[in-house]
Structure 1
Amino acid sequence: MERLSDFNLLNNKSILAHCVHLNPKELILVAEKGAAIVTNPQSNLNNAVGIADVCKMTELGVTVGIGTDAMTNNMLEEVRVGIWAQHLKQNDPSRGFVELASALVFNNPLIAQKYWGAKFGTINEGSPADIIVVDYIPHTPFNEETWMGHLIYGISQANVEATICQGKILMWNGELLLDIDEQEVKAKARELAEKLWDRF
């Protein structure tokens, strides 16, 4: 981190991925420079490289976002795994929930806003109308105190019924409304994947 800082490569537009092995001194430097860290729990666990100390990062004032590193297309699944990884890292099942849920819900939009300027993560006039609608009926109270738990442990398991991007409906009632042949795209993906694998 010090070397990056010395070359003016550590600033409020920097996004640092993984950061599994940063020490507290380095984390303080990241926080002071206004850089963000994006943790990728499933990738780190899959590669057995360790578990980023998201609780310590947050405690020291680092803006922590969450990514997938291509391990999944489900961000809520990534958050769930990240929470459980923090339980293990902290040896405490009460730690990690707020930090990881906040990384997705609050910090990811803030990080994106630095680059694209739009008010991501809000439903207001002028904000990108990027919305999903899920089929979810809660079995326990759903309110301002419980919504985050419902999001991570309930809504994460629900089917997505509609997808809207910049106000345009892309999927409705589980059916794609795009002018593409879904089966053809999947077949082409399999073909290209095989060619890519052969190159390895």
Structure 2
Amino acid sequence: MIALTHVNYYDFKTYAEDQYIIFEDKIIEVGPMTDFVNQDYEVIEGMDQLVMPGLINGHHHIYSTFARGLILPFDPENFQEILDQLWWKLDGSQDLDNVYYSGIVSGVEGVKNGITTIIDHHASGLDIKGSLETLKKAICDEVGQRGIFCFECSDRFDIDACIEENLSFAKKYQTTKTAGLFGLHAAMSLSEESLTKISKVIEDIPIHIHIAESHMDEDLSLERYGERIIHRLERHQLLKEKSLLVHCLYIDEDEAELIAKYKCTVALNVTSNMNNGVGLPDYNLFKRAGIPVIIGNDGIGSGIMPEWLNLNFTMHHRDLTPVKFGLGQVLEMVNQTYVYASSILGCKLGRIQPGYEADLLMIPYIPPTPMNKNNAFGHLCFGLANNFNPSYVWCGGKMILNHYKVKENLMDTYREASKSARQLWDRI
């Protein structure tokens, strides 16, 4: 058993100073140092360190890892052309080798940013079959994180192969470490025939899909099918409980009510929205409808904490006031991200309490101003978010970052990744 001693901890609900935390795969005991009795534990001294639950990226695209530094002819006039000129060239040209190495790079960089759980939305056009197991191998087996995976069904690919990849993975892997959703790229890239095929076999697997990331998604749905996206998905009986609907920038009130009715969750990714120039979400619409909202980064970076800060800023910008939306709303979404991932994996994440999974990070932090449970989240966002560098990370009690470093064999693999990226770039 491991004992962290003399630590301060914050789990988005409770803040306590000079504590000990004892854990194996789960947290066993937490208390003040005055009550600590050493029983031959592996003791890690945590003076001047803050312990938190491992972080969660609520919507990721691991395949985007190899977009870094990629230069292509790029002159888009709308969101569809951004997809055509960059992202669909990138994901459509990836094979299993690219999937594996992008998983290693993304996983290692995520761990260094304190991320212990990734909810990924994957696509690899050259190799569909086996791609999710390859991601699992990289992220869960080798890096040591938890992963929730799916393949983006799209008419750009062999739709039957996409369906089979989602089904086989989701049915084979349902543990506290790995699980599968049923991936759909976006309604605009799926025909009626494809949605009908999916509807016949999906059973009760929740979907993971982009919704109205651009107004073009809604416009095309109305033009082609005479109905808005959420109504179309409802007609195909695809709005399963715990489905993850990403972005939802241009849904209307009726769609929001349906999302709430079917107990779906929305994932926001505002940094990506700004990068693509597509707009920003209407948080108040989600709130009025009672829709659970979580936070992802859409594959635009390695960390998740900057998304919390950007979400706060962008909502101020959208509302043209800093008083309608604040860190309290961001904190609510952070907590909801733990609730959602826990429900999919069937375990307890996000608290530093006995019985919760020992997904923990430790980071040096000496508060320069008073810190308590009421202002601790502000310390994170304005004191740590732009310089987030954990010293230790554990997932399920296993140390996956040790004094700022991952295992050397992982770094050896990481160093080989650029060769795989070069091969991908040459294909593009």
**Same fold judged by TM-score > 0.5?**
yes
Deviation sequence 1:4-31 (CA, Å, 0-9, x none): 1222211322100111111122112211
Structure 2 stretches lacking a partner, 5+ long = 1-229
- The SS at the match of 1:154 is helix
Look up the equivalent residue of 2:329 and give its one-letter code: E
2:309 maps to a residue whose letter is: R
Give yes or no for the alignment of 1:193 onto 2:421.
Answer: yes
Unmatched 5+ residue regions in structure 1?
A: none
- Select which of 73, 82, 86 maps to 2:311: 82
**What is the CA distance between 1:199 and its match in structure 2?**
2.7
Higher RCO (C-alpha under 8 Å, 6+ residues apart): 2
Write out aligned runs for 1:41-120 (5 A). 41-94=270-323, 95-104=325-334, 106-120=335-349
Match of 2:247 in 1: 18
Partners of 2:363 and 2:288 in 1: how far apart? 33
**CA shift at 1:46, angstroms?**
0.9
After TM superposition, the score normalised by the length of structure 1 is 0.91
Distance change >3 Å, CA 120–CA 79, structure 1 → 2: same
- Percent identity over paired residues: 29
Query: Does the 8 Å CA contact 1:128/1:166 hold for their aligned counterparts?
Result: yes
CA distance in 2, matches of 1:45, 1:85: 9
Aligned amino acid, residue 93 of structure 1:
P
State the TM-score, normalized to the length of structure 2: 0.44
1:153-175 residue CA offsets vs partner (Å, 9 max, x unmatched): 21322421111111011222213
* Equivalent position to 1:7, from 236, 251, 275: 236
Stretch of structure 1 that moved more, 123-132 or 107-116: 123-132
- The structure that is strand-richer by fraction is 2
- 2:160 matched to 1:160? no
Contact 1:101 1:152 in 2 (8 A): no
Q: Which moved more, 1:81-90 or 1:2-11?
A: 2-11
SS in 2 for 1:34: coil
SS in 2 for 1:170: strand
Residue type of the alignment partner of 1:192: S
Which is higher, the Rg of structure 1 or of structure 2? 2
CA contact (8 A) 1:36 1:64 kept: yes
Q: Does the C-alpha gap of structure 1 residues 181 and 4 become closer, same or farther in structure 2, counting only changes over 3 Å?
A: closer
Amino acid at match of 1:98: G
Aligned equivalents of 1:86 and 1:197: distance in 2?
Answer: 36
Question: Structure 2: which amino acid aligns with 1:172?
Answer: N
Q: Equivalents in 2 of 1:116, 1:198: separation in Å? A: 38
1:125-149 deviations in Å (ceiling 9; x for gaps): 3321111101111112211210111
Deviations 1:51-82 (A, max 9, x none): 11123312321100010111112111111111
- The corresponding residue for 2:62 is none
Match for residue 350 of structure 2 among 103, 117, 121: 121
